[in-house]
Amino acid sequence: MIDDEINTDEFFSIGDENSNEWMADDNIDDHIVKNHLEIIVDRVANDKEFYIFDSLIQGRSFKDISNVLECSEQSVRLWYETLLDKIVEVIE
């Protein structure tokens, strides 16, 4: 069965418009830095801190994260600052 309304150039991109958007926006060096940070965070962070870090990297806001963790935005910021201190200790 042939459907003339289907454009073969668009067939493989159905529902996949933004999946590779990060590849176009970021360069390889950024990914290397992100991977290195994730390795450090995985070593030093507790579960909550890792969740906050991962969520922020994915573009979620402090408000969104605080809703998921059922706490204030200020608490999320404090946990994040604690994590940043841990990261700095490892890097130094």
Quote the CA–CA distance of 30 and 91 in Å, as a whole number: 17
End-to-end CA distance of the chain: give it in Å, rounded. Answer: 64
Whole-model pTM above 0.75? no
In the chain, which ranges are continuous DSSP H helix?
Answer: 8-11, 21-25, 28-44, 47-57, 62-69, 73-91
Query: In this structure, which topology does domain 21-91 adopt according to CATH?
Result: Arc Repressor Mutant, subunit A (1.10.10)
Can you give the residue ranges of every domain in the chain?
A: 21-91
Considering only CA atoms, which of 35, 33, 34, 65 is closest in space to residue 52? Answer: 65
- At 53 the pLDDT is 96
Considering only CA atoms, which of 84, 73, 74, 88 is closest in space to residue 49? Answer: 84
User: Mean pLDDT, the chain, as a whole number?
Assistant: 83
* Statement: residue 55 has pLDDT above 90: yes
